[in-house]
Structure formats: C-alpha cells, structure tokens
Amino acid sequence: GRGHRVTDPALTRALAGREALIARLADLIACPSVSVEPGAEAGMEAARTQFEGFLAGAGFANIRRLQGGGHPAIAAEWMGADGTPTLLVYGHYDVQPADPLDQWTTAPFEAAVRDGRIYGRGAADDKGPLLVALSALAAVLAEDGRLPVNIRILIEGEEELGSRTLEQILHLHKAQLACDAVLSADGARWRADLPTLNMATRGIGTLEFSVRTAAKDLHSGRYGGVVPNALHVLSGMLAALHDGDGRITIPGFYEGLADPAPELRAELAAIPFDAADWLAETGAEPIGEAGFTTLERLWLRPCLDVNGVTGGYAGPGSKTVIPAEAHAKLSLRLVHGQDPDRIRQALIEHLHRLSPPCATLSVTADSAWTAATEVPRDHPLLAAARKALLRTTGQNPVLVRIGASLPICDIVRRVLGCDVVMFSFATADENFHAPDEFFRLSAIDEGLAAWIALLRELETGQGLAGQ
Amino acid sequence: GRGHRVTDPALTRALAGREALIARLADLIACPSVSVEPGAEAGMEAARTQFEGFLAGAGFANIRRLQGGGHPAIAAEWMGADGTPTLLVYGHYDVQPADPLDQWTTAPFEAAVRDGRIYGRGAADDKGPLLVALSALAAVLAEDGRLPVNIRILIEGEEELGSRTLEQILHLHKAQLACDAVLSADGARWRADLPTLNMATRGIGTLEFSVRTAAKDLHSGRYGGVVPNALHVLSGMLAALHDGDGRITIPGFYEGLADPAPELRAELAAIPFDAADWLAETGAEPIGEAGFTTLERLWLRPCLDVNGVTGGYAGPGSKTVIPAEAHAKLSLRLVHGQDPDRIRQALIEHLHRLSPPCATLSVTADSAWTAATEVPRDHPLLAAARKALLRTTGQNPVLVRIGASLPICDIVRRVLGCDVVMFSFATADENFHAPDEFFRLSAIDEGLAAWIALLRELETGQGLAGQ
C-alpha cells in the first residue's frame, strides 16, 4: 500500500511547511488562552479564531463551536470517505496559567526558540502537539485530495479546568461527534528516548471537606484544655485514612481488585525503567503498597493523597489560637475494578465515621469522579498506532500506562461509547503547567511522520472500533 | 490610718481629673504604637513622649529609656520614702495591630466615646488601665507630697511582641529596677460583675516545625502511591500528640503533677461560674481531661494546641499535588510543677521519634518558654490588693487564676526575684486584640479608687516581699 513508500509525498509536503508550522505555533502561543482566568476571554477567542482559520484553510467543513455551558469547543469534520469508519481527533486550545511569571526565562506568551526547543505557555500542552496532528491531516488532504477515513475534529477549551463541561458538550452534540474511536493529540510521551504507547489511565476523584469545632476561633489562654481544636480533629481524621501499612482504610476500597496477572507483571517488568534512579530525582524515600513493584503501584494500584490542609494561623510567628475550622483537599487515583461513585460514597461515609461528635463535617467540594480506562490490547487504532511508530522510529513501541487521569478517556467511553488512543508528541519533561514550558522542535518532524504513517495504516480499510 | 477615710482627698483630686484623664487617653490612643509593625516607630515615639510627659508632670524622677535590643521601655521613679519597700508599677505602651480595619465601628486610632465606653486600639490593653494607675499615683503624690512606699515605674514597649526583650531589659538594668514586688496595670478583670484577683498564670511554650518528604512537590498522577506525602506524615504526627483520651503523649509531660488539694478544689468549686453557660457562647462541645472540672482544666492542668497547619495547595479548586513539605505551629500551656526547658526538650525529642524515616523534621521556631507562676496566698501585696477591693467594692474579691500566660510574671520572678500582682481595671470582654476594643469609663472611677485604696494599705509599713 501507499503506507510503505519510503518517502510519503504528504510527509514531504508537511515537512516543507515546518517553518510555517513553527510560526503558526508562535502565533498560537501569543494567544493567552488561560481558561481558568475570568479575564482571559480575548485570549481564548484569539486561539479559537486561529484554529478555525487553520481548519478552514486545510479543507475541513462544518467548522462550528459547541457550547456546553463553559468555554466552547471547536468542531470540524471531513466526511468524504464514504463507507469508512470515523475517527475523532482531539486536542485542546486552552492553557495553564503562566504563574509564577518571574520564573520564566522569556515571556510565557511570546514564543522563543532556543537550543532546538520552542518555549512558551501551551507549546507542549497542547498547542504544539495539536498543530502537528492537524498539519499532518492537512498535508494528506492537500496531497491526496482526501483522507483515508472520515475525520472529526474536537478542540476543547476547558481541558485545564478538568474538562468540566466536556461531558455536557458530548451529550448535547452526540450525533455530530459520533465516531468509532478517538485519537488524542493531548498527553505526553513517557520518555524522549523510548517509543511508547499509553493504553491505560487511572481514574480520579477529588473531594474537599471542613471540620468545625466552635463558632469562632478561640484563645488557648482562655479555652485551652476545655474545647476541641479543629486541627486536632482534622489531623486525626487524615491520619486515619491510611493504616500502619500505608493501606487506605475506606471500607471496601480494595474490593474486587485482583493481583495483576503474571503475564501483565512480566510485561511491566520488561519495560526498561530504573525505579530507583527515577525516584532518586524526587529526593523522596520510596514508599508503597507491599507486594507490588513501582510501576505496578503507579499504574495498577489506587492511591489517596492529601493535597492541601489549611487551618488556624499561617502568618509569621506564633498565635495561640484554637482553630474553629480546618479544611483538607483530598484526591484519589482509581484503578480498573473500582467504581468511582461507590468509592466516592464510601469515602464520604468513612469521613463521617471518622469525624468525632465534637466536630461538624462538611463536604465542601466534590469533583466529577472518573473511572480508570484501558484501551483493549487488540484495538485496531492501537494496532495502527503501534505500526506507525515502528515504521517511523524503527522500534516496536512499548505499551505503557499512566498513573494520571485523563477525564476525556472516561467521558468518551461513557458518552460516545468508544476508546481513546493517545498520540501526542509532547514529552513528559517539557514543563507542562510550569515555567519555561517548551516543545522539542524534533517532535514536529517525528510527530508529522507518525501521524501521517498512522493515517496510512487506516487506508487498509479495517474497522476502527474496539471490542 | 488615713486609708480608712471615707473620702480620700487624693481620690477626690483624681476623680476631679477624670475628664483630663479621658482626654489624655484619647491622645494616647491617637499614637499608633503598634510594636509589631516595622513602620510604627513614629507612633511608638509619640506614645513614649506622652507617657514621659505625664510622669514628669506628676513628679517622677529619673525618667529614662531602657534599651534591651528592641523598642525601649520607659522607666521612672519616686524614691523619697526612705526605709520603706520599693514597689514597681508595670504597664505597656505598645498596642496590637488594628487589622481588620473594616470591622471597626470608628477608626481605631481616633478615640470615640459611646455608651459609657471609650473605643480605640489600646483603650483597654493597656493605655487606659495604665493611665488609671499612673493617675492614682499622681493624685496621691500631689495631695500628700509623697507616696507611701518607694515607687518605680516600668512601661514596656514590646508586650504585644511577647515581651521579647523584657528579660534583657531587666538583666541590663537590674539595679535600677530592684524592687520588693511588682504591681501590674496590665491584664484584665475576669468579669465585670465580680471583684477578682488573679493569683496564678499558666506558663507557655510555642514551637514551629516542618516535615519534608521530597525535594519538591510532586504530581500524584506521576508519583501517587510511590512517594511519601508530607501532609500524611504531619497529620500522623499531630494526631499522635494526644492519645485516645485526649492526654498529651510527650513522655514525662505529666510527671510531678499532683491532683489539686481538696481545699483548692473546694475553693475553685465555690467560684460563681457556670461552665456550661460560659462554654455555650463558644459554640463548642466541652471536652477535656477526665476527672477535672472546667476551671481545674483551665487553671491547673496543661494543654497542647496545634495553632496552625500549612501544606500543599490552599487555593480554590483542586490540585493533585503531593506536598513535599508541611508546617505546624504548636503551643503548650504549662502548669506549676512543669519545667519549661525539660518539657520543651521532651517535645522536640518526641517529635523526632514520631517523624518517620521518610521525613526530615526541622524545628523552625521556638519561642522563649516560660513557667507557670503563682503569687503566694499570703503575699503582702496580694493582701493589700484584696483589702483595697473589699473597701472600694464592698465585696471580698474572689481569688482566681488565668489559663493564659503573662511572660512578665515568669521573667520578673527569675530576674528580679519577686512576684507580680495583677491590678488592671480592664475587663476580659473589652475586645483586646480585636476590632472595637474599648474600655469602660466606669472602670476609671473604680480603678482610681482601688489603686488609691491599695496605696493607702501600703502606708501601714508592712513589708512587700513574698516569702
């Protein structure tokens, strides 16, 4: 097939547009599309307009905005491949805030190329990888006058807000987004030196709660020893969330979680990964559930973290206050076999049980909880992605998982009923969400080649839906 | 003696100066002598100048400033009563910050008289009560041409900073401050409706510490389940500071603390005090050490409070961070029989024992620790104060204690070797350290009468030093 040509004319075309792509990425970085900031509407609109202009120029039709109650998503499609499956290509146009500004070497919203990297907020997450994907599609469409399968595009505007209205957008526009599989230009390659494909994510749930022990803060000189202290109550509750072996004490939390199959353990053990080296970078002593390797703990086992505590006096020096209220933020990573709703409910009941009679517990925030997801090992899109990476890198990609959670995977599974394959050419070390975010310029070439190779794999006319 | 005159000419004179006293207090309130604020030097200097002017006008000599490394104290004396003991009268010219400004009914540094009260920062703590004391001394000196005993005055400028340089001031100027007893115009009457004398304070110690579990905050998607969390460590440590019965777990903490004697228990039980009513105001469920009444817990038993915790993400929404560091501020109230240095050392050792191997513990701040103090029941100055209150109120004052800590009591005991009797006419409900601080105008009359009556008691020529 055409996919086996050593030099694909579409790739030649795409690579010839490399400088234009970099210039376009610089223009996109110049749009401060910080979805979390109420005043960022101008930046959001500028980013939308640029992506829409690109899609129109590339020949996509039905370019429109999908409303879900928050920042709109951009949709577009090329549906000219009658009788073939439909692939939905996903990315997002919003970016993280740039704080702390003083830690950037160059201004976050002015792209700067240094040492083979393009720096700027959103360079890697997700404007760069998304532009690579769209440019690959555009090059094939320009070269061939068609695409191998029907393509729908969805560019979200609230990924950095936890995709808070994505589910609503998919529900409201389900027919216009119907597809057999989703290929995401978001996410990150695990490592720069090893071709990998991510086939699973952990689920996530977050919850904030407060305990109150008095109507107002009290002075320990007047009340010390006779009234409860909200920070004592909170500390006791938080400490009780793990037992002495570090296991989570929520009743039923581990129910239904079998030990990984020997084949899976062997597969993970074969991944070239030095846990001790990797952990040494953190400066942390390794901990974890007994009986599991580091990768098993990260990818196959759930965890619970206290992400923040506030209570009492936080200023300089001492203040002999007995805090009346204290707050905690928790997050949990869930794995296959754990039902988010059931875990969420069990956690809330557990907190109520741990809260002593002298305290009033309030759950003050509670995000949408999402389940772990896993792309079936024999999914045709995953197979196409593996072949594309083998062809363009000369190496068989390693199947990996991530300990993180991608709301889109669970939402797409539930609403559109299909799987999401991650195919981003950002790399995990590119300072996502941090100062000096960058995108490797080499990833542009690698990404264009891989996306075009993957599209060629789809020309074989196989189905795209997983079992 | 002259003390038994129904109308003391000195009191008549003092009461005739009541309006002048209120005007002077308003002038003092207008000096923003907020010792904690680096920019408050002008306000500090203005307050010092006013007190010095008053002392000079009243006939005190050797008016000078005593340096101890921070804001200076003001000293003065009248040493004309040869062969009599020396009484040191104490107060402070510094005040708390006025924040939050928007919660004041009228401006904090502009005195306002409403409903028999004078409002303003420092009105009750301690400018009003100190001015009452000095005015009483001035009236007796003006009326009689002498005072019944030698009087030294010490007006501190760092009381609101925990008297951080008071010990140094007393050490450096020990001879100039030598005295047989200290009578303090600082503090507060327990209640407005019951004449009381405070004979004991709890000691205090504060300590801040941090635990660190990694070189930097880590993302729970990348590291959740394989690295320790500083907030888990901190919560566990804080929870372990009390046992299931609410007793403090520091080894040796309760060593040497005998149960109160039956006579003392009976004395406390006889104090008209409804613990349930008093606690109901706080909105807190009563807690406390088994086997003790509320007043016993407050006055005779030690306690430990966590005053503040910080760690991880404190902003809106969730952030799936694994905090690398967490901080806690602790304070302890100590009682008679507990050696502050020993308890401090035991606490630090205990924290090190509670800190798991995956964490690094740092004690980041550690205030001067002070012991509990108690004025001997038969102290002649306490006896004089009791008689003065009986004479001026018609009621035998109730001997009370406070659960709070007054650094001066312990420092004077250690450096000058004598006791401090509290004789303030502020009342505990007057919004010390809070918006709308006020001082009852009625306390001016009551305070002038009581201070003059107490001076008359000293004319009997008894000694002033406790045993």
pLDDT in tens, B221-274: 999 999 999 999 999 999 999 999 999 999 999 999 999 999 999 999 999 999
Asked if A220 and B305 come within 8 Å (Cβ–Cβ), the reply is yes
pLDDT category at A321 given cuts 50, 70, 90 is very high
A residues 264-293 closer than 8 Å to B (CB): 275, 279, 282-289
B-interface mutation test, from A164, A233, A235, most B Cβ less than 10 A away: A235
Which residues in chain B have Cβ-Cβ distances shorter than 8 Å to A225?
A: 288-289, 297-298, 301-303, 333, 403
Q: Which amino acid is at A112?
A: A
In terms of average pLDDT, the best of A320-329, A365-374, A402-411 is A320-329
Asked if A283 and B219 come within 8 Å (Cβ–Cβ), the reply is no
Which burial class, exposed, middle or buried, applies to B264 when counting CB atoms under 10 A from its CB (0-12, 13-18, 19+)?
Answer: middle
Task: Output b/e per residue, A249-273; b: 16+ Cβ within 10 A.
Answer: ebeebeeeeeebeeeebebbeeeeb
Q: Residue B460 corresponds to which tokens in the numbers above?
A: 């009997």
Q: CA-to-CA distance for B53 and B51, rounded, in angstroms?
A: 5
Q: CA-to-CA distance for B418 and B414, rounded, in angstroms?
A: 8
DSSP category for residue A369: P
SS3 category, B312: strand
Overall size of chain B counted in residues? 467
A residues 373-432 closer than 8 Å to B (CB): 402-405, 428
**Radius of gyration of the CA atoms of chain A, in A:** 24
Task: Output b/e per residue, A1-19; b: 16+ Cβ within 10 A.
Answer: eebeeeebebbebbbebee
pLDDT category at B395 given cuts 50, 70, 90 is very high
Name the nearest CA neighbour of B79 among B177, B213, B155: B177
H or E element in which residue A348 lies: helix A340-354
What pLDDT is recorded for position A2? 45
Instruction: Write out pLDDT tens, residues A237-259.
Output: 999 999 999 999 999 999 999 99
What pLDDT is recorded for position A187? 87
Q: CA-to-CA distance for B11 and B135, rounded, in angstroms?
A: 10
Q: Do residues A385 and A421 lie in contact, with contact meaning Cβ atoms separated by under 8 Å?
A: yes
Q: Chain B contact for A203, CB < 8 A?
A: no
Which residues in chain A have Cβ-Cβ distances shorter than 8 Å to B225?
A: 288-289, 297-298, 301-303, 333, 403
Q: Considering only the C-alpha atoms of chain B, give the largest distance between any 2 of them, rounded to a whole number of Å.
A: 84
Asked if A286 and B367 come within 8 Å (Cβ–Cβ), the reply is no
Instruction: Write out pLDDT tens, residues A166-211.
Output: 999 999 999 999 999 999 999 889 888 889 999 999 999 999 999 9
B-interface mutation test, from A307, A313, A401, most B Cβ less than 10 A away: A307
Q: In chain A, whose CA is at the least distance from the CA of B202?
A: A221
Q: Chain B contact for A313, CB < 8 A?
A: yes
What pLDDT is recorded for position B467? 59
Mean pLDDT of all residues in chain B? 94
SS3 category, A187: coil
Residue ranges in B8-109 assigned as alpha helix (H) = 9-16, 18-29, 41-58
Q: CA-to-CA distance for B338 and A168, rounded, in angstroms?
A: 63
A461 pLDDT above the threshold of 90 = no
Q: In chain A, whose CA is at the least distance from the CA of B235?
A: A235
Measured between CA atoms, how close is A309 to chain B, in angstroms? 6
Which residues in chain A have Cβ-Cβ distances shorter than 8 Å to B373?
A: none
A34 pLDDT above the threshold of 50 = yes
Asked if A224 and B403 come within 8 Å (Cβ–Cβ), the reply is yes
Name the nearest CA neighbour of B466 among B374, B399, B376, B372: B376
What is B261-307 written as a DSSP string?
PHHHHHHHHTS---HHHHHHTTTPPP---TT--HHHHHHTS-EEEEE
A395 pLDDT above the threshold of 80 = yes
Residue ranges in A6-82 assigned as alpha helix (H) = 9-16, 18-29, 41-58
Q: Residue B54 corresponds to which tokens in the numbers above?
A: 């008053």
Q: In chain B, whose CA is at the least distance from the CA of A276?
A: B226
Q: CA-to-CA distance for A408 and A167, rounded, in angstroms?
A: 8
Q: In chain B, whose CA is at the least distance from the CA of A293?
A: B226
Asked if A297 and B226 come within 8 Å (Cβ–Cβ), the reply is yes
User: Residue A345, CB half-sphere, CA atoms under 13 Å: how many?
Assistant: 6
What pLDDT is recorded for position A3? 45
